[in-house]
Chains A and B, each alone.
Chain A
Amino acid sequence: MTAGPPPLPATPPPRTMSHAFFRSIFRVLPLLLVLSPVNSSSCTMGNKTTEIRVKYENILSHDIEELVNMSAEYRDRCCKNKRHEHNKVFFCNDTQEIGSLQSMACNMLRFFNKQKINKEFRRKAALVSCGTLQVLQCKCERHKKEKVCTQVNAPNNEDTETVEQPKKKCNQEFCELKENISSLRSCWNKFEKIISRDGINRNG
C-alpha cells in the first residue's frame, strides 16, 4: 500500500500573493512613468481664456503677422515640392489647442541655432515661440525654452556670422520652419475663434 501525494492547499500562501502583487505593480509603474509626459500638460493658463485672448490680440498677433510676412518674403521654390517629405507635421487637435500650440512653439525653438537660415528670420521665429509659451505659461520637455528665450530677449549686440543659403541645394530646414510658422498661426486662429464669444444677433 502506497501513500498518495499530499493534497495541495486550497489557497496559495500569502507570501506568493504579495510577490505577484508587487511584480504587477512594478511592471505598470514604469509604463505610467513613460506615458505621463504625453498625457499631462505643462501649461498653467488653461482656464484663463480672457487673459490669453487679451495678450494674443494686443501683443502676440502682431509679432505673428510680422513673422508670416517675413516668411512670405523669403520664398524658396523647393518648399512647394518638398512639403510633405521629412517634415514633422503638427496638427492643431480639437479640444487640445493649447497642447498643440505648446508642441509647435517648442519645436520652433530648435531652429534658432540653424545657421543655414537667415539670422533675423530665425530670431523672429524664436521670439514668437517664446511669446506663445509665455502667454500660455508652458514649458518645453527638454527645458530648451529658458536658454533660447534668454538669448532671444537679450540685446542683439553680438554680430554672429550669417551664412547665406546655398543656391543650388534646397534648404530643408527653412521649409520646415515655414511649415511650422503656418501651422502655429492657424492653431492660434482656431484657438481665438473658440474662445471668442458668440455675437448677440446671429440671425439679424
Chain B
Amino acid sequence: MAVPGASLVPILLLGLGTCLAASPSPKGVECILFNEEYMTCTWGSGQTLTANYSLYYWYENKLPVVECQQYLWDRSVRIGCRFEQSEIIQFQAFYVRVNASCNGQTLEIPSNRMELQNLVKPEAPVNLTIHNMSGNQLQLTWSSPYPKEQCLEHVVKYKSNKDTSWTNQEVKGVIFSFPSVDYEKYYTFYVRSKINNYCGNTQLWSEWSVPVFWGNNSTSKGSSGPERPRSPRRPRSVLTVSPRLVAGVAEEQLQWFWIHTVLIPIASCLLLLVLVVLLVRMERVWVIIMPRIPNPSKNFDDLFITHNGDFQVRWLPWLTTPLSWWQLPTPLTPLCPSRNGSESLKMLWRVSSPTTVKASAT
C-alpha cells in the first residue's frame, strides 16, 4: 500500500474534510526512550487533534507489524503510545506508522527510520554531594539512575550569589573539582547528563538535577526562589556543618580587619600627636633635642651696652675686683700683629698676672 509523503498531507486533509483538519503536529511522530525503561511516541495534543488515531510499529528484521498496546490519551483523543521495556530493541531500525481515521476515511502518516539508541533520555543525576578539600577546593560528586555510567557525559552548572550568569562545565566522570572557592559567597550547583558519542548519537539531555548549595548564606536572602527547592533529598549533613565553620572563620577575620586597618593607625596618630605636644611644651626636652648655640653675651652686658665694646680704655679699668686669668671671658689667643700689636700683647700679659690690673695707654 503506497504511503503518501509528508508534502501530500495537506492536500489529503482538504479532501477528507474538517474532521481531519486538525492534523498531527508538523514535527510528526516524536519518540523518546526514558532511561531505557520505557518509551513514548507522541504525535500531538488533545487541543489540536480530533480524529481517531492508531499506531503501528515494526523493526527492520522482525515482522510482523504490531499495533500499540498502550495508548496515551488527552481529552478523549489518542495522542501517543507507550512502549514497555520488552517491546524496545535498540540498534535495529525502528519504523512507526500512524493511521488517522475519520468518517470511514483513513490517512496513513509514516515516520522516518529511527534507531532507538539515539533517542535515549537518561534520568537526572541524584545524590549531589559536596566535599571540602584542601587548599580552598571543593569536590562535587553525584550518581546516575542510568545503568551504564560509562556511556554518560555530564554538564555542571553553577554560580554564586554575586555572579550574574551561570557557568557551564562539561565533565566526563561523576566528579567535578571546583578549584578556588570564596568563603564569603553562596554557591548553587546543578548537574545533567546525556548519552555520550561512544554509546550513541543523541542530543537529548536529562532534566537538571535537584540543586546543592554551599557557602555563607547570610547575605543571599531572596537570591533565586526556584533554585532552592525544599526537597527531602537535600544533603543536610553538609549544610549543617559548613555554615558554622564558615561563620566562625568570618568573625575572626573581621576582628583582624578592624585591628589592622582602624585601631593601629589611630593609635599611631595619637601617639605621634602626644609626642609633638610634649616636644613643643617641655623646654627641657626641646633643649635636649635641639641644643642651643652658646651665647656668652650676658657676661658682657656692661662692655657692649655701657662701654660700646671698648675693651681696653673703658671696660678694664672699670673692673674693681682682681680677676684670675681663668675668669677672663675670652681665651688667651695670640692677636694678630698690628702697629700696636706688641703693646696689646704686653697689655694682655699684665692682665693675666694675679696683681692688680692697671691699664696703660697704648
Contacts and interface: CB of A to CB of B under 8 A. Distances in A.
A186 B198 contact: no
Nearest to B123: A204
Given A91-B61, A198-B148, A204-B143, A57 B91 contact: no
Interface in A93-143: none
Contacts of B146: 199, 202
B148 A201 contact: no
B144 A193 contact: no
B147 A204 contact: no
Contact of A187 (B91, B143, B150, B201): B91
Nearest to A193: B199
B117 A186 contact: yes
Nearest to A198: B147
Contacts of B117: 186, 189-190, 193
Interface string A68-105: 10000000000000010000000110000000000000
Contacts of B150: 196-197
Interface residues on A, range: 20 to 34
A186 B115 contact: yes
B127 A190 contact: no
Interface residues of B, number: 23
A189 B92 CA distance: 12
B151 interface: yes
A204 to B, nearest CB: 4
Nearest to B117: A189
Interface string A164-204: 00000000000000000000011101101100111111111
B316 to A, nearest CB: 117
A1 B337 CA distance: 206
B200 interface: yes
B200 A201 contact: no
B163 interface: no
Contact of A201 (B115, B127, B151, B201): B127
B197 interface: yes
A204 B61 contact: no
A146 interface: no
B179 interface: no
Given A65-B197, A185-B201, A189-B201, A200 B91 contact: no
Given A199-B143, A199-B144, A199-B146, A193 B201 contact: no
Nearest to B145: A204
B149 interface: yes
A61 interface: yes
B126 interface: yes
B148 A190 contact: no
B145 A202 contact: yes
A199 B149 contact: yes
Contacts of A192: 151, 198-199
Contacts of B69: none
Nearest to A202: B147
Contact of B91 (A190, A202, A203, A204): A190
Contacts of A189: 91, 117, 198-201
A57 B151 CA distance: 11
Given A92-B91, A200-B143, A57 B149 contact: no
A196 B90 contact: no
Contacts of A68: 201
A107 B158 CA distance: 48
B197 A193 contact: no
Contacts of B90: 190
Contact of B151 (A65, A193, A202): A193
A203 B148 CA distance: 12
Interface string A45-64: 00000000000110001000
Contacts of B145: 201-204
A198 B61 CA distance: 28
Determine which residue in B92, B126, B146, B148 has the highest number of CB atoms from chain A within 10 A of its CB, and name it: B148
Nearest to B150: A196
A83 B201 CA distance: 20
Contacts of A203: 145
A58 B127 CA distance: 29
Nearest to B233: A204
Interface string B141-163: 00111111111000000000000
Given A57-B198, A196-B198, A198-B149, 6 more contacts: A185-B201, A192-B198, A198-B147, A199-B148, A202-B145, A202-B147
21 contacts: A57-B198, A61-B197, A61-B198, A186-B91, A186-B117, A189-B198, A189-B200, A192-B198, A193-B148, A193-B151, A196-B148, A197-B150, A198-B148, A199-B146, A199-B147, A200-B143, A200-B149, A201-B127, A201-B145, A202-B147, A204-B127
Nearest 8 interchain pairs by C-beta: A199-B149, A201-B143, A196-B150, A204-B126, A190-B91, A193-B199, A192-B198, A196-B148
